[in-house]
Every structure is written in structure tokens, then in C-alpha cells.
Structure 1
Amino acid sequence: MVATVAIVLDANTRFNARRRRGSVPGRQVINRDIAAGHARLFKDYFARHPVYGPSYFRRRFQMSRPLFLRIVKAVREHDSYFVRKRNAAGKLGLSSLQKATAVFRMLTYGVAADDTDEYVRIGGSTALDSMKAFVRAIIEVFGDEYLRAPNEADTARLLAIGESRGFPGMLAEGQAPEVNFTVNGNNYTMGYYLADGIYPQWATLVKTIPSPLGQKNKYFAKCQEAHRKDVERAFGVLQARFAIVRGQHGRKGYSISCTDG
């Protein structure tokens, strides 16, 4: 299974220019009281005895607090954009918790960037900048571990799972080296994927039998349709947790697409 959630980012030059810019002429200046926003957020979720405990945190952030803090720490150490700084007037800016919370609210609930302002105290354009920087940092920090193609050990494990389900040679994700297996006395050297009718007629894609006749064909169709659901079930979990995965929302600033193979 390959599951990709691609967030469309602006060009790096434009993004970096936005991170360096000063006040924009004609823009309304809002005193958001950023420090108070951070203090409230910290008291609500990150204090030793928070207002909202672990069950509330997991429900609202779709992960445990330790995992969230691990991600924020890694992102902050990777990109100084998430390090809290003082501006020219000596006032503290947004904290990494505020920027990350705004990002997760957009990912989890599919809200527009501006909708995070009232609670997090972060402007819409800054929330979008945070999203872009966060996604880029996640790819750069965790990509080699969690976004990589399967290695030889992964492939062997996936092939074993497929064979235990009655489909020797079936792959669950990624590209694999040569695969050798025998079915009904015939030798095969190419792995394959279980797919539905929307996919092209390729030798590596094994589809179900439409309107199967006979017990043999009915049994095959039943097994094929049951085991090809792995990708769909995985997306079901992601969609239940993160609204952004459910499709394009028409929100300004980001769009996503999901593909599986």
C-alpha cells in the first residue's frame, strides 16, 4: 500500500520572502495578545495539570500529547521558524505550540487558516506559512523513516502476509524486487496487486471477476474483494482522524490529493 497525502505548497522563493517581510502598507494591525494566547493554550493542554486531560487532547489533536510534543520538538529543532523569538520591539512572538496547534486544527478539522485565529491568536497568513513550514519539516525530518519505499525486509513481510491470505506473490505497497512463486504448477516472477475495476488492464493488477459463475469463481471474487480492502480501510482511518484527507475543501491556501497503488 502506498498512501500519499500531498499538500500543495507555494514556491520556495515566495515562501521565504514572506517569512522575511515586514509590515504590509495598508494592512490592519491587530493586537492579538499573542502571549496571552500561548498562556491559555499551555494551561488548557500542556500544563502539568491541564484543563483538558489526555482523552480530550487525543480527541482534539487526533494523537497523544507525548507524540504531539515529540513532533513539535523535532520540527522546532529542524527549522528555526518554529523557535519563539522576540520582535524588534522586544515582544515575544508566536510559540511553536501555537503554530503547531494551528496546523493541526487545519489538518484535523479542515478549517480555513483564518478560523484558527480566535483561539490560537495567529493570523491567517501566518497560519498558512506555519502549515507550509511544518509540512516541509515533516518530510525532511521523518521522510526517511516513515515516507520511504519498502526495503527488502518490508517486502518479505508483505509477501508473507499475502501468502497467508491465499494470494502468494501479492504486494501491499511500493516497488519490489523480483518475486518468484508457483500457482497450479505455473511459475511466476512478477509480484501483483489486488485492484478493482477502475484500474487499467495490466499484468501486475489482479481484478475481481464481474458477475462470477460457479463456486470457484465466486470464492475467488469473495477473497479478492475482501483482501483488496486494506488500502481503503487505511484511508478510512486517516479520513476519520484528519478532515483534510477527505478531499478538497475549496479552502484558500491548501489542497490535497490522495493516491494509492
Structure 2
Amino acid sequence: MAEAGELRAAVEEWDESEDEDDDIVCIFGSFRQTAQESFEAKKRPKRGGSVPGKAPNKRRDFQARYHRVIEQYFAADPVYNARDFRCRFRMSKRLFLRVLDGVLETDRYFEQRPDCKGDLGIHPLMKVTAALRVLAYADSADALDENLEMSKSVIYDSVKHFIDAVDRKFGSEYLRAPTEEDLARLLEVNARRGFVGMWASIDCMHWEWKNCPSSVAGQFKGKEKKPTVVLEACADQELWIWHANFGHPGSLNDINILDRSTVFDALMRGESPQVEYKLNDNTYSMTYCLADGIYPDWPVFIKPLHQPLGNKQKYFTKRQEACRKDVERAFGVLQARWRILALPCRLLSRLDMNKVMRACIILHNMVVEDNREELGDVHEYLFDEHAVMGPSPEFIVSRRHGLRPRSVRELSEHIVSIENTEAHFKIRDDIIDHLWLYHAGETHC
């Protein structure tokens, strides 16, 4: 009897363990099914088109809206004149058509193609118009949908493809370093302003990052008390931006950003144009930027005097601060022309912010060039016709030949020449004397 009881207990224990195994199998099976459903949900596209269970497409009339825009701006007798077009598109009609042709040539996304029913899709002119309105006005997709009859997804896709196409098509031309011809023109213009050897002004601008990840928000908070991303730029009197270095955290000051900057890389490598000019009977072979007081005492920077003594130094400081406003005006015009840069950025990626910034700067430079061709030389009024200009300096600008530097020693010599404090004070004193001797009677910069 005892053996029978032990056998019965063993059988019951085995049945219980088998039930537990079945429960474990069921649990793992449900986990597997849930994981499979989650994986399939991730694979499923967010915008699958006309599929069962989705709302029907809104009855947007793309073609009617396109013809209306043509009547308003591009017809032989348009509703709105050229001034209205420039105000709303931020550029002339001639430049807009050039940008339109460029993005069409670069990205097939802008091609107008028929759907499965044979109906033509959105015209490329409408996609480019939507992208420009987002950059120029920082409009929401809902506001543009009401006027352009384009969905939110199409508008944001148009912006994404537009900024990429602008960079690929025009970036190499309008975000380039100055060529020999450019540098000679810049040196001549700035010499007439009294700063012989100057090619641009340098400064930094902050773009607030509203949707900065909280994990790195402290890294991007600086004096603005909010997360920002910094743009370092060099601009000339025409407001052309020659150098743009974007993406640094807002906690860095101008010196920290300069340490990470590429503005003088070509000069260190010996790849920039070679310049030679005379100032107060001294020969110089290095151009400079106007900068504020935080920058180091290098010959590539000319800064205002912190405590000027005498009328000569006071006049130099006043003229330096006035001419350095070139880069400040460039930042102001850039943000006014492309309002998206003046408002807190809602993008989640710093890479996307960089793409937007590059596209806006490229378009800004294209507008500057277009205005130059349309208006001609508009800087004559900036110079006093009764001022004594003095001897016109001669600039010898040439391109270096061969690969440089040829050794680490030569690279070190280039770096030492850029950071030579003694050379900085020498050229600064010569500029002070030159300004006082030939330009003290001028009232404008």
C-alpha cells in the first residue's frame, strides 16, 4: 500500500510539472506573437497610400492652385508686381527660376509625374514655393495647406529635398573660399575704407534649439540661458558670407569655437591665395579680419582698442567698430530674410539644423550676387568724395603652386606666423597711422 501511495504522489507531481511547462510555453508563445506584431508594425510604412482602414485623400486641386499662382506672379500681366514677388519669395523672379531649374536638375523628387489614375501630381514650382515659404516665413504646414493645397507630409518632404538639392547644386559655388579675383576685389574695396589688407569681418551667431535633447541641454546652454547652436561666419561689406562654420554648442565662447574652426586651415596648409601689399612702407603677406575684443592678438585679426588714448587711437577704434558691423548686418539680414533662423528651432537633429543653415546661407549669397548684378556698384556713396584717399595700395594676389606644406616644420612655421603677436601689433599700429593720415576727414565707413 505504501508503494502504491508513493507511485500516486509521483504521478500527481509529474502532472503538475507538465502543467507548469505548458504555462511557460503559452507565455513564451504570447511573447513571441507580441514581438512579431510589434516588428510588423514597425515595418509597416507610416504613409501607405490608399489602403483599407485609412481615411480617403482630401480633394485638393493641385492644378487649379498652380494656375492661380501662375496668374498671380508669372503671367504676362501678373496680379502682383516684381516688388511683391521679391518680398514674398525673398528673391527676384529671375533668381527664383534659376533655383527652380537647379533643384529640378539635381533631385528627381521635384519632377511632376502622374499617379496610377493618370492624374498629374504637384508641379515642381509649387513644391519649391512651399519650401521657400517655410524657410522665409517659418510657416506651419497647416497654414500653407490652406493656400497651396498641399498636405503636411508633402510640404515637409519638399523642404527636406529642397535644402539638400540647393546644397548639392549651388554649395560649391556659393559657400566657397575667396578666389584670387574675389580676394583682389575685397582688398580693394576695404582699402578705400581705410583698412588696407582687410578681407572680411568675423563673429558668431546663436540659433536657439527648442527641442534640444534634455540629456545634452546643459552642454548647449551658454550666456543665452537656453540651448543654442553657434554659427561662426565671415562676411564682407556686401553681406556675402564667405565662411560658415555651424554646429558648435552654445556653451562655447568665440575663442573655443575658433580653436575648432576651419577658417584658417587653408592658410595653414598654404593653399589660400598668396597676397603681398605695402602699408606705411612695410610689406605684408597676410590678410586680416576685423574682430571684437575677445579674439587673440594674431595678425589675422584687427581688434578695437580697449582703452584708446588720444584722438588717433579713438578714431581707429570708432572706424574699426563701424566697419566690423558688416558681419552683424549680415546676421541681421540673414535672419530677416529667412525667419526660420530667427525663431527657436524645432528640429530634433543638429545635422538637420546644419542642412537648413547651409541652404539659407547659400540662398542668401545668391540673392547678394543677384542684387549686385541688378544694382551695380552701390558703395560709392559710402566714401566722402572730399576725403584725401592717399596713395592707392597695390595688391599682388596669386595662387600658390605645388602641395604645401611639404613638411611638418613648414606647417609649424605657418602656424607660428598666424599666431605671431608681435606682427599683430605692428600691422595694427600701421593701420592706426594710415587711418589718421588719410581718412580722418571721413564721416562714413
Give the TM-score range, shorter chain. 0.7 to 0.9
Structure 1 pair 198–91 and aligned structure 2 pair: CA distance change class (3 A): farther
2:36 aligned partner: none
CA gap 1:54/1:188 in 2 versus in 1, 3 angstroms = closer
Q: 1:67 aligns with which of 95, 99, 113?
A: 95
State yes or no: 1:199 paired with 2:295: yes
Distance 1:64 1:252, change over 3 A: farther
Cα distance, 1:30–1:170 mapped onto 2, change above 3 Å: same
Instruction: Give the match for residue 248 of structure 1.
Output: 344
**What letter is aligned with 2:49?**
S
Alignment correspondent of 2:131: 103
CA separation in 1, counterparts of 2:176 and 2:156? Answer: 26
Q: How far, CA to CA, are the matches of 2:141 and 2:341 in structure 1?
A: 16
CA spacing shift, 1:148–1:186, aligned 2, 3 Å: same
Which residue does 1:239 correspond to in 2? 335
**Using the alignment, how far apart are the partners of 1:66 and 1:153 within structure 2?**
25
Tell me the residue number matched to 1:15.
none
- The separation in 2 between residues aligned to 1:109 and 1:213, in whole angstroms, is 47
Q: 2:171 aligns with which of 129, 136, 143?
A: 143
Residue 315 (structure 2) aligns with = 219
Query: After the TM superposition, which residues 75-90 of structure 1 pair with which residues of structure 2 at under 5 Å, given as runs?
Result: 75-90=103-118
> Do residues 170 (structure 1) and 198 (structure 2) align?
yes
2:143 is the counterpart of 1:115: yes
Letter in 2 for 1:177: P
Distance 1:164 1:103, change over 3 A: same
Question: 1: distance between equivalents of 2:342 and 2:295?
Answer: 21
TM-score by structure 2 length? 0.48
TM-score computed with the length of structure 1 as normaliser: 0.79
Q: Unaligned regions of 5+ residues in structure 2, if any?
A: 1-46, 201-241, 244-265, 267-271, 362-445
Q: Considering only aligned residues, what root-mean-square deviation do their CA atoms show, in Å?
A: 2.8
Structure showing greater Rg: 2
Aligned-partner residue type, residue 44 of structure 1: Q
Are the equivalent residues in 2 in contact too, given 1:178–1:191 (CA < 8 A)? no
State how far apart, in whole Å, the 1-side matches of 2:273 and 2:93 are: 39
1:61-84 per-residue CA deviation (whole Å, 9 max, x = no partner) reads: 122223212221222233221111
> Out of 68, 71, 77, which is 1:49 matched to?
77
Higher mean C-alpha displacement, 195-204 vs 246-255: 246-255
- 3-state secondary structure, aligned to 1:193: strand
Residues 1:23 and 2:119 are matched in the alignment:
no
With over 3 angstroms needed to count, the CA separation of the structure-2 counterparts of 1:214 and 1:27, relative to structure 1, is farther
One-letter amino acid of the structure 1 residue matched with residue 286 of structure 2 = M
Aligned residues: 240
Instruction: Work out the CA distance in 1 between the residues paired with 2:140 and 2:297.
Output: 40
Quick check: 2:290–2:303 contact (8 Å CA) kept in 1?
yes
Q: Which has the higher contact order (CA 8 A, sep 6+)?
A: 1
Q: Report the alpha carbon displacement of residue 49 of structure 1 after superposing the two structures with TM.
A: 2.6
The answer to whether the 8 A contact 1:247-1:257 is kept is: no
Query: Matched residues in 2 for 1:154 and 1:234: separation?
Result: 18
Alignment equivalent of 1:37, drawn from 60, 65, 71? 65
- Unpaired runs of 5+ residues, structure 1, are 1-20
Equivalent residue, structure 1, for 2:217: none
How many percent of aligned residue pairs carry the same amino acid?
A: 46
- CA offset digits 1:18-73 (Å, max 9, x no partner): xxx74287664322222222232222222333332323222211222232122212
Q: Any idea what SS the aligned residue of 1:66 has?
A: helix
